[in-house]
Amino acid sequence: MPAQQTPAVDAPKAPPDPIATMVGRLDFDRYKATIKGLTQFGDRRQGTDRNRAAVDWIEAQLKSYGCANTERIHYDYQPPEGRGGGRGRGAQDPIIGPGGARRRGVRMPEGVNNDPLKQPDEKLRELNSQPSTPGAREEVFCTKIGTAHPEEMYIVAGHMDGIGYGEAANDDGSGTALVMELARVFSSPDVQTERSIRFALWNNEETGTNGARAYVAQRKDLQGIESPAGSGKYPEPKWLGMIQHDMMMFDHGMPRKDGSMSPVQRPEADVNIEYQVTSKLADAAMLLAHKFQFANEKYATDYPASIGPHMSNTDSGPFMDLTPAISLRELERGSQIGNGWDPNHHQPTDVYAHYSDDDFRLGLNAAQTTLGAVAQLTGAKTAATAATGGN
C-alpha cells in the first residue's frame, strides 16, 4: 500500500520591509530636478533677494509634499567687521585640518572665490550680482509628528545658502535636495513614525553656521515642553540626534601632482559619515554614526559608507555638545576637502551642468543611507506593513 503523502504547505510570507519600501520611493530624477530647481536662484548667498526667494521656494515645495506644518526661524545677522557676506577663507593650516584631521596626500589650497568676473556665464554672473547686506534672516523647517512619542525627534538638515558665484549645486544644493526628498517620502499619507522628525534647511552656514546657531539659541531650552499644557503638542521635541548633509556628490579622488583631477567618480567612492571626537557626546555620536553605516549596508544601492572622527565646518557643530550629532559628506572634511579634493568647493564651477549621473547617484546613496537609518530610529511603518504587523 503506497505511503500516504502529506500535502505541501506553503510557508507564510514574511511581511514586506516598510523601510525598504520607503527607500524605494526615493527618486533619482526627482533628486536631480530638486537640485536643478535650487540652482535657478544662483549661489543663494545669504542676505540677498535670491536667497530670500530660495527660502520661499523651499517652503512651497515642502508644503506640496504634504509636510504642511512648516515654520520659519527669524534672526538678525550682523557680520563681524571686515568679514562681509561669506567666509572668504584662504588656504587652511598645512598640517592639521578642520576638526583635527591630519592632512595627507597631494595638498591643494582650499579657498573661496570672491571675484564675480571668474564666472564665465554672463547670465549667472548677473543673477549673482546683488551683494549680501546685514539684517533680518529666515530659514525654514517642517516636522513629521510621531504617533507614539511626539515629544522626541531627530533633526535631519542641510544648508540652502552658498557662495562662490556659481550655482551652489553641490554645496549645498545636493544636501538641501536630499533633505527635501526625505521630507517628501516621510510625508506620504501612508507613512507613520513613532518619533518625530524635523527637516531643517539652514541659512547662513557659509558665514559660520549662524542659522543653525540661531536655531539652537532660540529653541534648545524649549525641548520636550508640552505647549499648551495638556494639548499633546510639543513645539520643540527633545533632540535625540542631529544629522547634517553638506556636499554629497563629488568623490573623484585626490588631485594629481599637476593639480588636475579625474573627470569621473572613482570606483571606491563612498559616503563619509563624521562625528567629532572632541565633543561632549562623542561616544553617543559614534554609535549613531555606526547605525547609519549599518543602514547603508542594508539599503544603499551603489556606494558604501565609512566613518571618521573629525566633523567640522558645518551646521552639526552647534548641536554636538547638546545631542549626538553627525554629518554626511562626499569626502572627509579635513584630510580630503581640506586638501582640495573637491576643486568646485566655493568656486564658479559648482554648477549643475558640471556633474554627471555618477556624481548625482552618490548623493542619492547618501539619501538612501539617511532614510534607512532615520526610519529605523523613529520606528517608521507604512500603512500596508502596519496592517500586517510588519516591523
Beta bridge partners of 144: 197
- Residue holding cell 509634499? 65
Residue 117 domain-assigned (yes or no)? no
The mean pLDDT value for 167-187 works out to 98
12 domain-assigned: no
pTM value is 0.91
* Residue keyed to cell 545669504: 46
Residues 202 and 157 sit within 8 Å (Cβ to Cβ): yes
Considering its fold, how many domains does the chain have in total?
A: 1
Find the mean pLDDT for residues 86-91. 44
8 A C-beta contact, residue 157 and residue 243: yes
* 64 within some domain: no
Partners of 141 in the β-ladder: 71, 200
Give the Cα separation of 96 and 138 in Å (integer). Answer: 34
Rounded CA separation 100/12 (Å)? 53
Q: How far is CA 234 from CA 320, 322, 355, in A?
A: 22, 18, 41
Predicted pLDDT at 335: 86
The answer to whether residue 10 scores a pLDDT higher than 90 is: no
Residues 6+ positions from 266 with CB-CB distance below 8 Å: 251, 252, 253
DSSP E strands, 33-134: 71-77
The three-state DSSP-derived secondary structure of 370-390 is HHHHHHHHHCCEEHHHHHHCC
Domain contains 120: no
Element (H, E) at 179: helix 175-186
Look up residue 293 and give its DSSP letter.
H
Q: pLDDT tens for residues 228-283?
A: 999 999 999 999 999 999 999 999 999 998 989 999 999 999 999 999 999 999 99
> Would you say residue 58 lies in a domain?
no
Domain that holds residue 208: 133-251+262-391
Q: What are phi and psi of 54, to 5 degrees?
A: -65, -40
Rounded CA separation 85/43 (Å): 12
Q: What is the CATH number of the domain that holds 342?
A: 3.40.630.10
Q: Which stretch of DSSP H or E encloses residue 210?
A: helix 210-219
Task: Tell me, yes or no, whether 7 lies in a domain.
Answer: no
In 189-341, at which residue ranges do the beta strands (DSSP E only) sit?
191-192, 195-202, 238-245, 271-274, 305-308, 325-329
Say yes or no to pLDDT of 209 above 90: yes
Longest dimension (CA), the chain: 100
The confidence score (pLDDT) of residue 92 equals: 40
Which of 324, 256, 316 minimizes the C-alpha distance to 285? Answer: 324
- The amino acid occupying position 89 is R
What is the pLDDT, as a whole number, of residue 94? 45
| pLDDT, tens digit (0-9, with 9 covering 90-100), for 54-77 | 999 999 999 999 998 999 999 999
Give the whole-angstrom CA distance, residue 273 versus residue 209: 19
75 strand-pairing partners: 137
- DSSP state string for 306-370: EEES---SSTTGGGTTTS-EEEEESS-TTTTGGGTS-TTTTSTT-SGGG--HHHHHHHHHHHHHH
What is the residue-averaged pLDDT of the chain? Answer: 91
**Residue range 304-325, pLDDT digits in tens:** 999 999 999 999 999 999 999 9
Task: Report pLDDT for 45.
Answer: 98
Sign of CA dihedral 102, 93, 317, 27: negative
CA torsion sign, 200 to 201 to 204 to 207? positive
In this predicted structure, what is the pLDDT of residue 301?
A: 97
- Is-contact 325 309, C-beta < 8 A? no
- 85: pLDDT confidence band, cut at 50, 70 and 90? low
Q: Is the dihedral of CA 332, 334, 335, 339 positive or negative?
A: positive
Residue 94 DSSP code: S
pLDDT of amino acid 360:
98
Residue 294 falls inside a structural domain: yes
- Grid cell locating 47: 542676505
Cα–Cα distance for residue pair 175/367, rounded to 1 Å? 9
